Structure 1
């Protein structure tokens, strides 16, 4: 499938419409909104490492309302059970048979709040759903439908009593980013409109959820030149052999990188990926897939420093006119 400039332009216009709409609820965070939409249209999941009260729930609800999708919030706690997430078989005395009661995971946009507070067993209940889009209970699979996106959060400060996400689950998240606190202008606007208790509730639907899958297929058809693919391969290889890393970007991470870059490119109205697209997505796509070794941690080396060094080491290919 080859996409035309007109198709790319229509994709960009739809993307911009959704960004502006969600921006009514999440003020001053356009870049994060763009990342979240890119994640949704790529068919991935988002991890937000952020402080309480920064608008994570508002982002999830505004995103769901914009695309006319359903939304749920799961507050992860140490006593949360896997069935509290996926659902459970319940015996119906009237029909004398078991019926599956769907859990809160069966929604378009699912906010998994403070995911690292739940036990590893409950965290693992998300793995199949995030990776395959279905839940299996008593040998029977139930599709969660499309679109489907998990937005998980974790508090970077309060780590007491938490269960850090294992590498296998971190790799299931397409991106990791942070909303952070609003800037001065956004904060003033929030205070000026303090009478509005629920900004996300005022967000009006702009597109139908049914168009998201076709939009994702359109993004899949974006051209990525061999030189750019080689660039991504060399970058991810460099993260694995870097002197400060004990874990680099996997093959799954490299695939996720390319898929994200395709969506990011067409969201800007282009039919091809450029090295600038690769650089723009470096931190959100790569940072949670890299772990520095103990010696580097002792020396204060950060993942961001490793990513910067890798991009300095690996030269980008020259851009050609499409």
Structure 2
């Protein structure tokens, strides 16, 4: 056989070999979504019950279950700034039945706090949707003679380190908000970490700690009933839930802004058709008027963006908080 005929024959045989493989890959992708979901889906929340992430997850899970035609169950796995639950999902079967609803404290901040993690965010977890965002409130215990951010700063400067400030855990957004606050104001507070925003809120209300940056949705009922005093909101605008409370920026710390963002991820090898199905279901869920109204009453701002927007948000948030962690020399190892 001359060389030209030989090359043509090899090309034909190669094409014949590739075609079944392409068909097999396409068939595999179709099989991945055929009948999906066929059983209940578990959404891991890597924080304690009662916090903002838990409340959001339980609200969304009900509507998401309706969209998918299967029950969506919330499973709390708190600890280590959310990384324990995050790692469990990263190592779960990539079949769309185990997801994580996480905050930026885990998906964008944790990697800068720990020298080693049992997973890598971008390698091991696939973005599904950026659901929502929520500012925090700076609150003080009811027994502390503080009525404003400036009052708190004056008191802190008189005795550096004497006042303590709680958070939802080491490396949480509430912890990083406190670090940013201290950095911008030149003050020193003693950090007291709790296992979630719910316990931190209870601690402020019980006069166990002096102050804290707290999840707005969790803390508003405590603030409106007088069980703690809200003196600042961490977003760029006042909250409709607490219209008389100025932002921290308006209160003399102009460069201050800190927001908790909430997002959903799946194990990285989850087939794209499954990711697309989940993303569409989340979008439909977040567009339901009743759900939107309920979350907005809790001070949660609907974002409702898909996988690509979430991937960009991960990068942006990681860059911002990574710089603060380096400047403050924070490490959890």
TM range (shorter): under 0.3
Which structure has greater strand proportion? 2
Larger Rg: 1 or 2?
Answer: 2
Q: What TM-score, normalized to structure 1?
A: 0.25
Q: What TM-score, normalized to structure 2?
A: 0.24
